[in-house]
Amino acid sequence: MRLRLATWNINSVRPRGDLIGRFVDEVAPDVLALQEIKCQTEEFPKAMFEALGFNHFRIKGQKGWHGVGIASRLPIEDAPPLDVCKNGHARCVGAVVAGVEIQNFYIPAGGDTPDRETNPKFDHKLDFFEKLTAEMAARDPSRPLALVGDLNVAPGEFDVWNHKFMSKVVSHTPIEVGAMAKLKASLGFIDVVREAIPDPEKLFSWWSYRAADFRASNRGLRLDHIWVSPGMKAATLHTGKALSRVHDDVRGWDKPSDHAPVTADFMV
């Protein structure tokens, strides 16, 4: 069975009904992992998703900020909860769909200064990565696991519009890139998007609202990720290569999020 998984920082779910509906019609995902839903759990617009064929949910909301959710066409089972956010924000939610554990994250952005001593937000971000890395290091790599979401780090030289400049800016500093590399190594995760679209092709999933024409300036970052455990390698490479893409066209639709959705296909 084909399982098409999408991750999308929706930047407030309730006003985005038309955007989500068009994306679902055109791309036909089976599972939507959403970040920054910006509503409390009971306020999540389930009816809107049910009208699109998504009848199964795991939602972790928060008043005004953050919030994550998983909406699925397929039945959902509970996934092990992860306690990795020291501030108790709604930044992680999990589900098991078609035998695959999906853990969906909105990792803290980290503020403006890349110094955990003077910037509590940056310390929170690194602490989140450290806790998550320890959790993943204890897992069995042969079990099917997808780690997805807005991880708020662009890890590679070709994941940012200007590597030299961005190396001094939160989201691409060496300490963050190192923290992400440790997380990736903890379970031997496969970066599915880069498996499908290797370096040196530039690849971004976020563009600031400040640019009047995001394509013209193209000062983007690849902050949104789909990683899988070694136990999903065969499911990922079922056609001989990974099938994954950033739907950057969606960033140009009416009233978009500043993030584009990312999808990957698996045979499960």
- For the stretch 4-55, pLDDT in tens is 999 999 999 999 999 999 999 999 999 999 999 999 999 999 999 999 999 9
37 close to 16: Cβ distance less than 8 angstroms: no
Question: What pTM did the predictor assign?
Answer: 0.97
Sheet holding 262-267, edge to edge: 56-60, 68-72, 31-35, 2-9, 262-267, 243-246
The mean per-residue pLDDT over the stretch 91-114 comes to 98
Q: What is the pLDDT of residues 141-172, one digit of tens each?
A: 999 999 999 999 999 999 999 999 999 999 99
Domains of the chain: 2-267 (3.60.10.10)
In terms of DSSP bridges, do strands 243-246 and 190-191 run parallel, antiparallel, or are they unpaired?
unpaired
